[in-house]
A and B are shown apart, each in its own frame.
Chain A
């Protein structure tokens, strides 16, 4: 007999599994962030061109990467939900949206405070920044659409379609610095070239990115558990949970 891969697609079995995973991701995120911040703010030397302003990179780049990556993950879950009509996929898509919006906000905010000392402006209607702002609106649109529809299964489908349509914006953000003359610099890190920064700076940035990943996983899992209780309440497995009985 082949193993039943759909076993964990059931909220009743995924709920306790997610509960066991959350502390691991949360503590890894905290530990990595502590190391990354130490490297970024204390160990890494002052940049010869930008002075210390460049240190914003240690949160800006991880948040910007996560903002795009989480959107793609949300869209994949939405596609699975639309294609297979699976409850858990739709709940995962719903759980990721707020954390994605938050990462997008951090990317925009830290970008503004990096732009001011280096370019002389907090904001410009530049291709990279404008498309990232549209990403924030897409996340907020998905969240708002969910709240506008009372029936959760209908909301799943509507949000899924919106999320999938919005994917077109991701390559626009990513390639904007190549396609248009942008105030924003090109990628400092790529798979094909040697990174255009010192090893210690790169290490700090990658560690912070890993921390952002683990944080986003922990927050999304915590949120998907809340969504499960909210949407499945009345089901026997929910009322049997110790945390529900003791609430």
Chain B
């Protein structure tokens, strides 16, 4: 197992590359989740607006 992580001496470079890639993907997914939560909350608070609402009329 430790020989796998050592990668014949290249472990530092390989795991720095893979680790950072995994980290930013996880950050993106968490950011999407929290942003979704907050826009849903905001949309509920806004509620339906009257017929001539600009978003609808823009087509």
Contacts and interface: CB of A to CB of B under 8 A. Distances in A.
B1 to A, nearest CB: 12
Interface residues of B, number: 35
A234 B49 contact: yes
A153 B58 contact: yes
A219 B36 contact: no
B43 A244 contact: yes
Interface string A194-226: 000000000000000000000100010011011
Nearest to A236: B48
A63 interface: yes
Given A51-B8, A55-B7, A56-B17, A234 B44 contact: no
A234 B53 contact: yes
Task: Categorize the interface residue count of chain A.
Answer: 35 or more
A102 B22 CA distance: 11
A53 interface: yes
A192 to B, nearest CB: 29
Contacts of A60: 17
Interface string A60-101: 100100000000000000000000000100000000001100
Contacts of A24: none
Q: Which of A53, A60, A105, A116 has the most CB of B within 10 A?
A: A53
Q: Which of B21, B25, B35, B46 has the most CB of A within 10 A?
A: B21
Interface string B25-45: 100110010011101111110
Given A106-B24, A234-B49, A244 B17 contact: no
Interface of B: 4, 7-10, 13-14, 16-18, 20-21, 24-25, 28-29, 32, 35-37, 39-44, 46-49, 53, 55-56, 58-59
Given A55-B7, A55-B14, A113-B17, 8 more contacts: A53-B10, A53-B14, A109-B21, A114-B13, A215-B25, A235-B48, A235-B56, A238-B48
Interface of A: 41-42, 46, 51-53, 55-56, 59-60, 63, 87, 98-99, 102, 105-106, 109-110, 113-114, 116-117, 153, 215, 219, 222-223, 225-226, 229-236, 238-241, 243-245, 247
